[in-house]
Amino acid sequence: MNVERKKFIKTLAIAIPGMVLIPSFLQSCQKDDLPSVSWKGKIVIIGAGAAGIYAASLLRQYAPNATIQILEASNTFGGRIKALEGFADFNIELGAEEIHGKKSKWYDIVSSTNANLFTASRSETDFVMLDNRLESEDSAKSIDAYVKADDAAGTVVRYSGGEVSCEAYALSQGVGSIGLPYFNALTGNEYGTSASLLSAPGVSAEDNLWTSGTANYNVSNRSYHSILEEKFSEALSLVTYNTQIKNIDYSQSDILLTDQSGNTFTADKVIVCVPLTILKANDITFSPILPTSKQEAIDKIGMGAGMKIILKFSTRFWDENAGSIYGNGPVPEYWYTSKGRGNDHVLTAFVMGDKASALSTEGNNAVNIVLADLDNMYGAGIASGSIVDSHIEDWLKNPFIKGAYSFASEAGIIDLRTQLAQSINKQVYFAGEATHTKGHVATVHGAMETGEFVVSEILNEFV
């Protein structure tokens, strides 16, 4: 994730019909630097998210004699790629929504379909609650609290000093209580947490490794879930659903996996692609127990609560050119979801970290809290009087995800992710967004890249 992206996005004003974009998925596949092997063993992949599906797809291609099985706890594929259909006159992404940068397999895959990719238009304007007033970006530029918060969010990703939280960094740069919510929205919330929990040297170390490009792309005419289904049909045919792996016994050369009903599976190699929070919760036990360095990484890398609350209104009470609307109450950021996608009037409340933990305890009442926040910003009864429908996607409460996405909790984050990604005995391998060691954490394309790193490691054992 990359704060600079937010600033860069407004320099672009492009609507891109997917079909004209090259390279296509097939062309990009040919660029994989992977050897083909004739190994005939069995690999079980745990988790049918982006990492697991992509790993399976590559293994089918480069180890065609191997037996591949994907075991997935839920009744569907995609993990944190999930669509809300039928709520509005367009599909809404409840997890991953933006494609961060062009230089990735995921961008190539999406653009090789009929997906309409678009970026923010030049006329798009952000709005910010500063104290008791909602200011447009332009008017806020003359307000010291805004300028200081904006500057601090731009410089924290280049911070090179000792351990300090992003919030503490902001305070040291003169950001006060009025600008702090905006700073938190741009940093903590964007990176899946709160600024008080995000490490300034950690986030800076990861941002410096980012190589995917700075523009963000959205899709207007279809869901990412449907794109996975279209482009990975072969890999998806290898998935066994409703199979939550509870134990991995790798004490013998035949690895034994046991699911929630006591069913067992055997494999020569296992690729664990579950969210970090599943490992933190010990939902999967390992025999023998994991090495100390691995457990340390699981404990120390950050991942916590996150949610999207989707709100449909009978009228649009926000500016027609609004992009993001930054609040200073329970919701750090709203965005105008239906813009460029449909005629319904839809906003998304995007809440991460401590604020998400607090809203999560409220259950359905979270919607009333969010509407009261919008009423406070736009005028009494404006939002609460025009709400038509709402949907809460609370990722903390998803039993097979248990959180949003991983974040840089300390300065040594790259070493921790390296420990997390380390394979054990050429038997148990780890992939998934949190294992990315080159800066592309917390993204779909990063998750896919970790699938590729592991497949490369396995294939090279047989060359």
Residues found in the chain: 463
Q: Which stretch binds ligand FAD (CB under 6 A): 17-25, 75-83, 142-150, 229-237?
A: 75-83
Q: Which stretch binds ligand FAD (CB under 6 A): 65-73, 168-176, 315-323, 408-416?
A: 65-73
- The answer to the question of residue 18 lying near ligand FAD (CB under 6 A) is no
Q: Residue with structure tokens 């990861």?
A: 206
**Smallest distance from the beta carbon of 347 to ligand FAD, in angstroms?**
15
DSSP 296-319: HHHHHSB---EEEEEEEESS--S-
What binding mask, one character per residue, do residues 282-301 give for ligand FAD by CB under 6 A, x or -? Answer: -xx-----------------
- The answer to the question of residue 73 lying near ligand FAD (CB under 6 A) is yes
Query: And the tokens for 12?
Result: 């672009």
- The answer to the question of residue 276 lying near ligand FAD (CB under 6 A) is no
If you compute the radius of gyration of the chain from its CA atoms, what whole number of angstroms results?
Answer: 22
Q: Are 193 and 351 in contact (CB under 8 A)?
A: no
Q: Are 45 and 146 in contact (CB under 8 A)?
A: no
18/306 with CB nearer ligand FAD: 306
**Smallest distance from the beta carbon of 411 to ligand FAD, in angstroms?**
22
Candidates 18, 49, 202, 412; binder of ligand FAD (CB under 6 A) is 49
- The answer to the question of residue 74 lying near ligand FAD (CB under 6 A) is yes
| Contacts of 262 by beta carbon, 8 Å cutoff, 6+ apart | none
What number of chain residues touch ligand FAD (CB under 6 A)? Answer: 40
Residues 223-262 that bind ligand FAD (CB under 6 A): 244-245
- 67: β partners: 42
DSSP 199: B
SS3 content of the chain, % helix, strand, coil (to 5): 35, 20, 45
- The answer to the question of residue 48 lying near ligand FAD (CB under 6 A) is yes
Q: Residue with structure tokens 């401590």?
A: 354
Q: Residue with structure tokens 């995000």?
A: 198
- The answer to the question of residue 80 lying near ligand FAD (CB under 6 A) is yes
- 218: β partners: 118
Tally: H helices and E strands in the chain: 17, 22
- The answer to the question of residue 46 lying near ligand FAD (CB under 6 A) is yes
50/130 with CB nearer ligand FAD: 50
Q: Residue with structure tokens 């034994």?
A: 256
Q: Are 197 and 184 in contact (CB under 8 A)?
A: no
386/450 with CB nearer ligand FAD: 450
Candidates 395, 407, 430, 453; binder of ligand FAD (CB under 6 A) is 395
Residues 409-438 that bind ligand FAD (CB under 6 A): 432-433
- Tell me the three state secondary structure of residue 348: strand
- Tell me the three state secondary structure of residue 200: helix
**Nearest Cα residue to 327 out of 347, 304, 305:** 347
Q: Which stretch binds ligand FAD (CB under 6 A): 35-43, 89-97, 313-321, 330-338?
A: 89-97
**Smallest distance from the beta carbon of 405 to ligand FAD, in angstroms?**
5
96/129 with CB nearer ligand FAD: 96
74/91 with CB nearer ligand FAD: 74
Residue numbers at the binding site for ligand FAD (CB under 6 A):
46-52, 71-74, 79-81, 95-98, 100, 244-245, 273-275, 278, 283-284, 306, 308, 395, 400-401, 404-405, 432-433, 442-444, 447
